[in-house]
Structure 1
Amino acid sequence: MTSASRAEFHQQHQELARAEAQRLFAQKAVLQGAWLNWVAAQLYNLRPAPYASMVRRELQQLQAPTEK
């Protein structure tokens, strides 16, 4: 993927990736101790891989304030 097409892909999927990360993060309180394994499986099943990486980054940003 060229950097131009990578940037295009990112722009096209940013909002969807953010929404998916928020959906996954919302389950943390529900699943509690089981959340980590569940979210890992959810991320593993996302395709294509660049989209899964975007969701993972968004999820990391959502978690950052709670880990302090």
Structure 2
Amino acid sequence: MSRADFHSQNLDSAREDARRLFAAKAEFRGAWLGWVASQIYALRPAEYASMVRRELQSLQENSDS
């Protein structure tokens, strides 16, 4: 499977996972960064974890604006 195919097939679930992780920010407060890092680290394959990390970063940037 090509990288583009993998990306298009997994984008919706990566966005869903990123929203779930971002929503937990209020619950975990100061411990959120460590918790979210461990959650992303556990995701497989690594390409999917990277997609979730990028989507999460996008959510954070949009919330800061």
TM norm structure 2: 0.94
For structure 2, the 5+ residue unaligned runs are none
Whether 2:7 is the aligned partner of 1:10: answer yes
- Which residue in the other structure is 1:38 paired with? 35
- Secondary structure, in 3 states, of the residue corresponding to 2:36? helix
Please tell me whether Structure 1 or Structure 2 has the larger radius of gyration of its CA atoms: 1
- Secondary structure, in 3 states, of the residue corresponding to 2:34? helix
36, 46, 51: which is aligned to 2:48? 51
54, 57, 62: which is aligned to 2:59? 62
Number of residue-to-residue matches in the alignment: 65
In the alignment, residue 23 of structure 2 is paired with which amino acid? A
In the alignment, residue 7 of structure 1 is paired with which amino acid? A
- Secondary structure, in 3 states, of the residue corresponding to 1:47? coil
TM norm structure 1: 0.90
- Which residue in the other structure is 2:21 paired with? 24
Root mean square deviation, CA, Å: 1.2
CA distance in 1, matches of 2:2, 2:48: 13
State the shift of 1:63 in Å. 0.2
